[in-house]
Structure 1
């Protein structure tokens, strides 16, 4: 819990209290305006407490993230050729976010030979369009 009492976290806690109090006060102000006949204020009276709830939600997620901390990388996962950490029991720390897996894609082979002639003709047409940027598709000589 000491992690949540650093100067940066104290500033976040104060910002939470100030923002939630201000948003709820603005919501109450809009309710008083709506009660006096301003119908548009009813929408704002609902909107300000939603903003306050969003601030609490973001603060809660940040607290959970800070308390979860970082996980240690096993020494076998260290970059090859890189410097080895001095203490192999602790190792370097990285966030708990994983990188996406890259999968090699193999192009599919054509099913029959008839598609190859059509594909070659279409590729010639695209090559001609690329070589003649001002031309219209109807100007294609082939």
Structure 2
């Protein structure tokens, strides 16, 4: 391995997680987790004093703290994955790999397929009420200033 390259899991690989934005995220995660666990402890002390509603909050605050850790960890993994993809050597444009769908990934959004409509052939039984209504609508379209009561049909 060269001196400039870094193996996954080394400190060089983690340098992207020590930017000012990431330091703010790390600090926010620690502050939120400590605060949520402190609020959970406070609710336990209130529940022990006789406030039965506080038992629910005593369980809820540590769950919030766990959720903050989960989101933080997921963002760290995503940042490391993006960094690894950015550091990867570019693929040879002459050799284009077949598209694959990774497990759990969403398919790409593509343009909708246009289908040409072919008129129906054969004996078409026309509904007389529908034909009369369509004639009425075409008359209204042809006479924009007319009122529906002016229809001659």
CA distance in 1 between partners of 2:118 and 2:129 (Å): 16
What's the counterpart of residue 36 of structure 2? 23
Q: Please state how far the C-alpha of 1:61 moved relative to its aligned partner.
A: 1.2
What's the counterpart of residue 109 of structure 2? 100
Q: Please state how far the C-alpha of 1:37 moved relative to its aligned partner.
A: 0.8
What's the counterpart of residue 80 of structure 2? 67
Q: Tell me whether 1:48 sits opposite 2:61 in the alignment.
A: yes
Structure 2 segments unaligned to the other structure (5+ residues): 1-13, 94-104
Contact 1:110 1:116 in 2 (8 A): no
Structure 1 pair 119–52 and aligned structure 2 pair: CA distance change class (3 A):
farther
Q: Please state how far the C-alpha of 1:46 moved relative to its aligned partner.
A: 1.1
Q: Please state how far the C-alpha of 1:103 moved relative to its aligned partner.
A: 2.9
| Residues 74-104 of structure 1: per-residue CA shift (max 9 Å, x gap) | 696xxxxxxxxxxxxxxxxxxx987402231
Equivalence map 1:1-142=2 (5 Å): 1-69=14-82, 71=85, 99-106=108-115, 107=117, 113-114=124-125
When the two chains are superposed, the root-mean-square deviation of aligned CA atoms in Å is 3.8
Structure 1 segments unaligned to the other structure (5+ residues): 77-95, 136-141
TM-score (norm 1): 0.60
CA distance in 2 between partners of 1:40 and 1:108 (Å): 67
TM-score (norm 2): 0.56
Q: Which has a greater percent of helix?
A: 1
